[in-house]
Amino acid sequence: MTNKGFTLWFTGLSGAGKTTLAKRVEKEILMRGMGVELLDGDVIRTNLSKGLGFSKEDRDTNIRRIGFVCNLLERNGAVAIAAAISPYADVRREIRALHKNFVEVFTKCSLDKLTERDTKGLYKKALAGEIKGFTGVNDPYEEPENAEIVLDTEAESIEDSTNRILTYLEERGLVPAPVGGDVSAEERKAIEAKLKDLNFV
Ligand SMILES: Nc1ncnc2c1ncn2[C@@H]1O[C@H](COP(=O)(O)OP(=O)(O)OP(=O)(O)O)[C@@H](O)[C@H]1O
Ligand SMILES: [Mg+2]
């Protein structure tokens, strides 16, 4: 089993699928026996980055803090997963440079589709001018040009996107292959229940 730490960095517009996929991948990596932490933008803004707003400066500070913690985890052999919009390319580049093993995942989805999904009800408000500085509507999002993984979350299913990430990580030797085919569906369920009991997932 590998115990090489790495950072899996999701970037993409609100509602593009960062949290959904980060949670799926987190669970799967745990099931494969590695230590993993998920740093989700929404959660981080309630503690580590509490009080920060959405100016460029505050967004950059938030992302730098998440990147700093990811690096601490990575260098100790853990897997760090970041799921925050991270709209600015220069700060993403800066964070990448901190890391030895950095995998950027771009969850790509059109504004039309995001407005249709409107998972948090924010796009309609932003488009109506009720929210200022909303990424993708009236605040910039700089698409990554060198992301290791680009997911078309508009067309792909959640399962497809999750599998594409895991396959990439396996091929890079960053995560071990799934617990062998010798584990039955029942055993897998029991492992999942145990992880839940232990508050891991
Ligand atoms: N391939 C896919 N990958 C991820 N999510 C998908 C995919 N296809 C459809 N979805 C749906 O898109 C939505 C993604 O919402 P999610 O909260 O994960 O976005 P987010 O990027 O974390 O947004 P935010 O930046 O606001 O936190 C969910 O409702 C999910 O079911
Ligand atoms: Mg999210």
Q: Across the chain, which distance is largest between two alpha carbons, in Å?
A: 55
Ligand 1 site: residues with CB under 6 angstroms? 12, 14-21, 42, 83, 85, 107, 117, 119-120, 153, 156-158, 161
Is residue 119 one of the residues assigned to a domain? no
What mean pLDDT is predicted for residues 102-119? 97
Our count of domains for the chain comes to: 1
- Catalytic option among 14, 49, 86, 161: 86
| Nearest residue (CA) to ligand 1, atom 24 | 14
- Percentages of the chain per state (helix, strand, coil), in multiples of 5: 45, 15, 40
pLDDT digits (tens, 9 = 90+) for 49-60: 999 999 999 999
Confidence tier at 1 by pLDDT (50, 70, 90): very low
pLDDT digits (tens, 9 = 90+) for 162-188: 999 999 999 999 999 886 666 788 888
Is residue 105 one of the residues assigned to a domain? yes
Is residue 50 one of the residues assigned to a domain? yes
Domain of 12, in residue numbers: 6-111+140-197
Sequence-distant (≥ 6) Cβ neighbours of residue 105 within 8 angstroms: 8, 9, 10, 11, 21, 147, 148, 149, 150, 151, 165
Is residue 127 one of the residues assigned to a domain? no
| CATH assignment at residue 77 | 3.40.50.300
What mean pLDDT is predicted for residues 101-129? 97
pLDDT digits (tens, 9 = 90+) for 75-85: 999 999 999 99
Strands (DSSP E) contained in 22-139 are: 36-40, 79-83, 102-108
Would you give the distance in Å from CA 131 to the centre of its chain? 24
pTM of the model: 0.93
Nearest Cα residue to 11 out of 76, 73, 59: 59
Using most ligand atoms within 8 A of CB, pick from 39, 46, 86, 119 the residue to mutate for ligand 1: 119
> Is 157 known to be catalytic?
no
